[in-house]
Amino acid sequence: MRHIISILMENESGALSRVAGLFSARGYNIESLTVAPTEDSSLSRMTLVTRGNEDIIEQITKQLNKLIDVVKLIDLVDSAHIERELMMVKIKTSEHMRDEIRSMAEIFRGKIIDVTPTTYIVEMTGPSEKLDAFIDAVDPDTIIEVVRSGPTGISRGEKGLYL
Amino acid sequence: MELSGAQILVQSLIDEGVEYIFGYPGGAVLHLYDALFQQDEIKHILVRHEQGATHAADGYARATGKPGVVLVTSGPGATNAVTGIATAYMDSIPLVVISGQVSLPVIGSDAFQEVDMIGITRPCVKHNYLVKDVTKLAETIKKAFYVATTGRPGPVVVDIPKDITAPNIKVPYKYPKKVSIRSYNPVVTGHKGQIKKAVDLLLRAQKPIIYSGGGVILGEASKELTEFTHTLGYPITNTLMGLGGFPATDKQFIGMLGMHGTYEANMAMHESDVIIAIGARFDDRVTGKLDLFCPYAKIIHIDVDPASISKTVKVDIPIVGEVKPVLEQMLELIRENHKKPHKKALEPWWHQIEQWRAVNCLEYDRESRLIKPQYVIEQLYEVTKGDAYITSDVGQHQMWAAQYYHFDKPRRWINSGGLGTMGFGLPAAIGVKLAFPDADVACVTGEASVQMCIQELSTALQYKTPIKIINLNNRYMGMVRQWQEFSYESRYSHSYMDTIPEFVKLAEAYGHVGMRIDKPEEVRPALEEAFAMKDRTVFLDIITDQTENVYPMIEAGKGHHDMKLRVALGTSTDRELA
């Protein structure tokens, strides 16, 4: 099953490699990983998407908690949460395709953020499946490049990951 | 007080109460060595190879319970220390390893003797620090000791760039009395509800067994474990790391468990209905094939490290906490409720265990004209009255020492259980002897293992650490040979050394006493003579039966109930292999 683990960690050099190293050393898989400092500059927040059965996820969270730099973590999938990913897609646009791409972007609530005579860049945020669906809907031959941030997430309601 | 980085490091170690540093100088730590030279509170032990430094510090830590301290230079000094760091990590031994690093401005430029020590050691340390600011040095050292010694202990590396220790940059010094780390709060006491559940389950058990490990030694909980075991009247088995946590000569002790555990311990585990694991981690050498592990048992597990719980074996009642307070909590609950297991109800279980015991699984051929390694350990036990510190290397000799030396006290059995590091025993013995100069310290080793750190014989002379080296010399990497005999139709691929040194001469060359023993009747007198030489290191090169195997044995893929026992005494004896 897919899990989204949100981690608050010390904003120290090497903290990211401790997490990445843990996953490779113990053979866990990382589907995606995003990290950035928080409003408190001493802390970074990392969102990590991984897959595994319950036992593996339990070990992953325990091993992560054991890292000295990890302050706190939650598995977002344990409760109601919102998940968002940012994607930018550069698409080749021949004259007769431009309208179609534009309306497709609109349907998916994307924005066209760059236009050249032969290309569009579409920006889109949403849950990962929505971004997948957009990619599936576009003619693959027209896609020049796709860049995705990997999902990040936050729990709903008063519950949250903070100090 | 304004001090340079080098002085801060040395003063921090003094303020931390450090007695010995095991190290080896080099370019990146010259400032530090200069500061060491100008004080006489800390004694520096100059080893002959950095691996020896880490093992000696490790031996010191295992014997005393205090953290071991290592100082090595950058690059090769640092990488040579890695085996010892990993050894300590696998057995949860508190070490603080200070490594020199090239100066900050040249880090990352492939400078002379530069290596990414933080990166290299990341997977085998509890934590590591690169010091980038001299004003944070004292606090970092304090944190390193705090992290190394609390919770589940382990090695911590502090990598210090050379410019941080420069003599011309002085900053105010104050060693913090205490540090707290917001992201690190080890659990001490156990959850009351869990403890109650555990006690209830334990007292209802028909076929209980206590399975305790190295956590009891590390957590200084032998006294509590002994009281707990006596109160319950249950059988107890120890892991390789847990030996000495409960007195081996006590009638409730049924031996070590696992791959080379006793028949009675492994059978009792297999048949038990309730297991309480105390400071043990269900290592694969203990469990055998997981699917077959303890099929009828409910399992209680006490461990300070939550990640050890349900890692390989799913447990029914986990208790996170330090072993000592948790056992105290459990004892208190048992006392409060005036509950004790019915002695009568346990009788069938003990009767069954006695039957398994009667198999006498550790019996060996006592009539052999060759020296049996088991006999040597038995004699060593008698000559030292069971009260020596025994270090070991890794292989058959290690198992025999574990099986035939009956450890009644904690911290007496010092071996590399988790990583299985050959070369550990000799330097570890030096560390132990420094800590306990009046105690008998013996290193049980083999001719293969001992050669991996043999250079430390020189250290033993320089610092006058008279240890006894019991070299069980069968000319084979015995454990490798045993596996090749059992699993590879006796194709002894490269497990035999055609040439080995004359150890007597070698010992003499290093300034010690060498003795060669090749007849069974010489063993006892030689041991007595060696241990009578209180102020000399003695290397006893004991020529043992090459064909001897370690029994019982659970082979790969088998369960506890499926042990290979010595078929018939004498079947493999007196057979020349090479």
Give the number of residues written for chain A: 163
Which residue of chain A is at minimal alpha-carbon distance from B182? A71
Mutation target for B interface from A23, A58, A66, A163: give the one with most B CBs within 10 A: A66
Other beta carbons less than 10 A from residue A90's beta carbon = 17
Give the number of residues written for chain B: 578
> Which among A14, A66, A70 has CB closest to B307?
A66
For chains A and B, CB pairs below 8 A equal 38
Mean pLDDT, chain A, integer: 95
Q: H or E segment at A5?
A: strand A2-10
Q: Are the beta carbons of A62 and B130 separated by less than 8 Å?
A: no
Residues β-bridged to residue B160: B100
The rounded distance, in Å, linking the Cα atoms of B495 and B504 is: 23
The rounded distance, in Å, linking the Cα atoms of B319 and B453 is: 40
Looking up tokens 């693959």, which residue turns up? A140
Q: Are the beta carbons of A18 and B314 separated by less than 8 Å?
A: no
Q: Are the beta carbons of B182 and A71 separated by less than 8 Å?
A: yes
Question: What 3-state DSSP class applies to B5?
Answer: helix
Sequential DSSP letters for B18-63: --EEEE---GGGHHHHHHHHT--SSEEEE-SSHHHHHHHHHHHHHH
The rounded distance, in Å, linking the Cα atoms of B363 and B365 is: 7
Which residue of chain A is at minimal alpha-carbon distance from B129? A14
The rounded distance, in Å, linking the Cα atoms of B227 and B246 is: 10
Which residue of chain B is at minimal alpha-carbon distance from A23? B123
Q: Show the tokens assigned to B214.
A: 């190295």
Q: Are the beta carbons of A18 and B122 separated by less than 8 Å?
A: yes
Catalytic residue among B113, B197, B529, B564: B113
CA of A66, closest CA in chain B: separation in Å? 8
Residues of B in contact with A13 (CB under 8 A): 130
Residues of B in contact with A59 (CB under 8 A): 307, 311
Query: What is the maximum alpha-carbon separation in chain A?
Result: 57
Helix ranges (H only) for B76-190 are 76-90, 117-121, 137-149
CA of B258, closest CA in chain A: separation in Å? 24
CA of B127, closest CA in chain A: separation in Å? 7
> Which among A17, A59, A71 has CB closest to B183?
A71
CA of B147, closest CA in chain A: separation in Å? 9
The rounded distance, in Å, linking the Cα atoms of B2 and B49 is: 34
- Chain centroid to CA A72: 19
The residue with greater pLDDT, A52 or B573, is A52
Please list, in sequence order, all residues whose beta carbon lies within 8 angstroms of the beta carbon of residue B177, skipping any fewer than 6 positions away: none
Residues of A in contact with B118 (CB under 8 A): 14
Q: Are the beta carbons of A13 and B130 separated by less than 8 Å?
A: yes
Give the pLDDT score at A61. 97
Question: What 3-state DSSP class applies to B306?
Answer: helix
Q: Are the beta carbons of A10 and B183 separated by less than 8 Å?
A: yes
Residues of B in contact with A66 (CB under 8 A): 305-307
For residue B479, indicate whether it is catalytic.
yes
> Which among B127, B130, B311 has CB closest to A59?
B311
Q: H or E segment at A18?
A: helix A15-25
Residues of B in contact with A69 (CB under 8 A): 183
For residue B112, indicate whether it is catalytic.
yes
For residue B407, indicate whether it is catalytic.
no
Nearest alpha carbon to residue B309 among B196, B194, B418, B207:
B194
For residue B529, indicate whether it is catalytic.
no
Residues of B in contact with A14 (CB under 8 A): 118, 122, 130
> Which among A14, A21, A55 has CB closest to B123?
A21
Which residue of chain A is at minimal alpha-carbon distance from B306? A62
DSSP state of B380: H
For residue B253, indicate whether it is catalytic.
no
Task: Report yes or no: B476 and B447 within 8 Å, Cβ to Cβ.
Answer: no
Nearest alpha carbon to residue B23 among B66, B64, B60, B62:
B60
The rounded distance, in Å, linking the Cα atoms of B275 and B230 is: 16
pTM: 0.96
Catalytic residue among B126, B142, B143, B162: B162
> Which among B118, B181, B309 has CB closest to A68?
B181
Task: Report yes or no: A26 and A50 within 8 Å, Cβ to Cβ.
Answer: no
DSSP state of B575: -
Find the distance separating the first CA and the last CA of chain B, reported in whole Å. 67
Residue-wise pLDDT tens for chain B (578 aa)?
899 999 999 999 999 999 999 999 999 999 999 999 999 999 999 999 999 999 999 999 999 999 999 999 999 999 999 999 999 999 999 999 999 999 999 999 999 999 999 999 999 999 999 999 999 999 999 999 999 999 999 999 999 999 999 999 999 999 999 999 999 999 999 999 999 999 999 999 999 999 999 999 999 999 999 999 999 999 999 999 999 999 999 999 999 999 999 999 999 999 999 999 999 999 999 999 999 999 999 999 999 999 999 999 999 999 999 999 999 999 999 998 877 777 888 999 999 999 999 999 999 999 999 999 999 999 999 999 999 999 999 999 999 999 999 999 999 999 999 999 999 999 999 999 999 999 999 999 999 999 999 999 999 999 999 999 999 999 999 999 999 999 999 999 999 999 999 999 999 999 999 999 999 999 999 999 999 999 999 999 999 999 999 999 999 889 999 999 987 544 444 444 54
Find the distance separating the first CA and the last CA of chain A, reported in whole Å. 28
Nearest alpha carbon to residue B561 among B253, B263, B261:
B263
Q: Are the beta carbons of B310 and A58 separated by less than 8 Å?
A: yes
> By CB neighbour count within 10 A (0-12 exposed, 13-18 middle, 19+ buried), where does B26 fall?
buried
CA of A149, closest CA in chain B: separation in Å? 26
Residues of A in contact with B123 (CB under 8 A): 21, 25
Residues of A in contact with B305 (CB under 8 A): 66
Residues of B in contact with A72 (CB under 8 A): 183
Please list, in sequence order, all residues whose beta carbon lies within 8 angstroms of the beta carbon of residue B230, skipping any fewer than 6 positions away: B252
Give the pLDDT score at B570. 45
CA of B181, closest CA in chain A: separation in Å? 8
Catalytic residue among B7, B11, B16, B50: B50
Question: What 3-state DSSP class applies to B317?
Answer: strand
Cis amide linkage into residue B552, ω under 30° from 0: yes
CA of A53, closest CA in chain B: separation in Å? 13
